[in-house]
Amino acid sequence: MSRRLLDTYMRDIYWKYGAIGGLILCIIVITTFFWFPGGVFAPNLDDLVTDVFVTTDHVSEESVVSIDESVRRVTFAAVGDIMLDRTMLLLARKHNDFGYAFRMISSTLTGIDVRVANLEGPITTNTSISNGTGGARFSFTFSPQVTSSLKHNFDIVSLANNHTSNFGFEGLEQTKRFLDDAGIAWFGDPNNRGDHKLGEMIEKNGITIGFVGYHQLVQKGFENVIAEIQRLRPLVDVLIAYPHWGVEYVTDTPSKLQIVEAHDMIDMGVDMVIGAHPHVIQPFELYRGKPIFYSLGNFVFDQYFSRQTMQGLILKGEFEKHVSSSRLFIRLELVPVHINTQSQPFVADDDERIEILEALARVSLVDEEFKNMIQKGYLEFELPLTSMK
């Protein structure tokens, strides 16, 4: 390319890009003039802030969600009689698993804050004699190896029954030591002695639950149980009595003494009564707005001679404490269980569930509204908070 042509080419490029640059500069100047703060079309900064931020002046009362931090909740489960000697011992050894009895029910109890049962016998180092004949059939001792599975499934157990003394005072003391070592709480005394631990407290999620054991069959010491109820009442949010009482295998009615003593315990401050010993499910009653379950029936037992002794109930529910209104809500699910010929409880199928709940509703000492609730398997109660905590 000649020098002249090159100069002409460069001059064309210079003017072309110069024109483009000038146009861009004009656009910037015009935009600045019109839109910069104070310009013709400049937006009001107050409007911009209001568009971005919602001030409290514009929030309605309905849009404010309040959280009541005074509400506390704890989940709960209760079962009936657990016996881990005799057939259960033979099955545990056969399967090399001292948690064998709980294999089919553990998942139902998992994740619950407080789980309670009646432990129908002592835990000792003595040799089992219950697989013999005669009276020895009813003298129980549980292997210390059961404590691991008990701890996995339960948090607290009652010792107020007619079998925890089967191996005497030393057997009872061993039981307490094994439970303590396993981290399982316990309460109650087979003779209702006032100088023994008749009650215990468990605190979870800001709610304190008290338990009091009572063994009716020894026909003494009820006054000690009442004194323990009165002692615990101001210390707890929920107070549960766990009596061992009544007539075995009677399903349609509690005894007169059961009714009198259940009412006495509630009059003294108990919120709920949960009974054991009859080995069958017994009626439900509502007294002064508080629930009484006269018997939950068997849970782990080798009584295969009747359909009723192979059935039981789990009470599974929630306690809800409202500090601000001083109210306690108890919500319970009635979970029927079947116990197979391996002494393993499991949640009953639909047909048996209906059968168990309908039978319970028929005999229960409540009005039709509560009978209908029993048939559906759900109960709810509202009580005043009576603790001084």
Q: In 33-51, which positions are buried (b, 16+ CB within 10 angstroms) versus exposed (e)?
A: eeeeeeeeeeeeeeeeeee
Instruction: Give the model confidence (pLDDT) of 182-222 as tens digits.
Output: 999 999 999 999 999 999 999 999 999 999 999 999 999 99
Per-residue pLDDT tens for 17-40? 555 555 555 555 455 444 444 444
pTM of the shown model: 0.82
Paired residues of 358 in beta bridges: none
Domain layout of the chain by residue ranges? 3-52, 71-384
Do residues 220 and 237 make contact, with C-beta atoms less than 8 angstroms apart? no
Model confidence at 350: pLDDT above 90: yes
pLDDT, tens digit, for every residue of 91-136?
Answer: 999 999 999 999 999 999 999 999 999 999 999 999 999 998 778 9
In contact, 67 and 58? CB cutoff 8 Å: no
Rg of the chain taking only CA atoms, in angstroms: 35
- Give the residues across from 119 on adjacent strands: 82
Position 35 scores a pLDDT of 47
Ranges of H-type helices in 268-367: 350-363
Pairing outcome for strands 378-384 and 327-339: antiparallel
Tokens of 336: 């029927």
Which tokens sit at 351? 């047909």
What is the distance between the alpha carbons of residues 241 and 155, in angstroms, rounded to a whole number?
16
**Is 298 in contact with 309 (CB distance < 8 Å)?**
yes
- Fold classification of 71-384 is Purple Acid Phosphatase; chain A, domain 2 (3.60.21)
The pLDDT tens digits of the residues spanning 143-188 come to 999 999 999 999 999 999 999 999 999 999 999 999 999 999 999 9
Q: For residue 108, which of 266, 344, 384 has the smallest C-alpha distance?
A: 344
Q: Are 249 and 308 in contact (CB under 8 A)?
A: yes
Residues 200, 145: contact at Cβ < 8 Å? Answer: no
What distance in Å separates the CA atoms of residue 208 and residue 151, rounded to the nearest whole number? 20
Distance CA 66, CA 226 (A): 42
Quote the pLDDT of residue 300.
Answer: 98
β partners of residue 203: 208
| pLDDT tens digit sequence for 190-200 | 999 999 999 99
The SS3 assignment for 195 reads coil
Can you tell me the distance from the alpha carbon of 108 to that of 284, in angstroms, rounded to the nearest whole number?
Answer: 23
Q: Are 236 and 209 in contact (CB under 8 A)?
A: yes
Euclidean distance between CA atoms 33 and 15, whole angstroms: 27
CB of 130 within 8 A of CB of 138?
yes
pLDDT of residue 385: 87
